[in-house]
Amino acid sequence: MRQSAPPFSELLAGCRQSAVHLEMRDHYDDPDEAPRVAAWKAGYRPNPDDRSTWWRPWLDMVAETVSRGVLIRRARIISEPVSDYTRYLYDGTFTNVAAGEDIRWLPRRQASDLALPGNDFWVFDGRLVRFGHFSGEGAYLGDEVTDEPSVAKLCADAFEAVWDRAIPHAEYQV
């Protein structure tokens, strides 16, 4: 059954084994993130030695979730050459990795023969799916969750197909 998603913090708090996330857009227009993107374009980079410069509270939630034994993996399907936004994400991904996420990158041309859902998604414990909806310009429009087994299987299988081909963050170069 599809319904509006509860707060993301609740979804992670209820997670016991795994949370996987597939991102398929080259740009997200998040008004909360706009100042960070503008600062990055002006030359700012998070300080690897100063966690207070990192994106909060997301990274704190990730670290807490991983400390409970939950595996968090994120795969990003990206166009090459990469967009400025993808470069921005790439430059800050070390913070996600330090918080406990495992992240991989898949060039879009290597995903052409994969069957993928139409929206970005998270799958929690292989059973609950949260779809994120975005405008053509990348503005966040909302989300929905479903626990329909066939949808969870479709998304979990799609994620694993991408994950198997994707390049670990430490090996991928933009």
Phi, psi of 12 (to 5 degrees): -70, -40
Domain ranges of the chain: 2-168
Could you tell me how far CA 112 lies from the centroid of its own chain? Answer: 20
Q: Rounded to an integer, what distance in angstroms lies between the CA atom of residue 11 and that of residue 134?
A: 20
Residue pLDDT, tens place only, 114-154: 999 999 999 999 999 999 999 988 989 999 999 999 999 99
pTM over 0.85: yes
pLDDT at 1: 62
Q: Rounded to an integer, what distance in angstroms lies between the CA atom of residue 128 and that of residue 155?
A: 10
pLDDT band at residue 112, thresholds of 50, 70 and 90?
Answer: very high
Arithmetic mean of pLDDT, 154-161: 98
Q: Give the rounded percent of residues in the chain with a pLDDT score beyond 90.
A: 81
How many Cβ atoms from other residues are within 10 Å of residue 46's Cβ?
Answer: 19
Does domain 2-168 fall under CATH 3.30.870.10? My reply is yes
More confident residue, 113 or 52: 113
pLDDT band at residue 2, thresholds of 50, 70 and 90?
Answer: confident
Residue pLDDT, tens place only, 11-32: 999 999 999 999 999 999 888 7
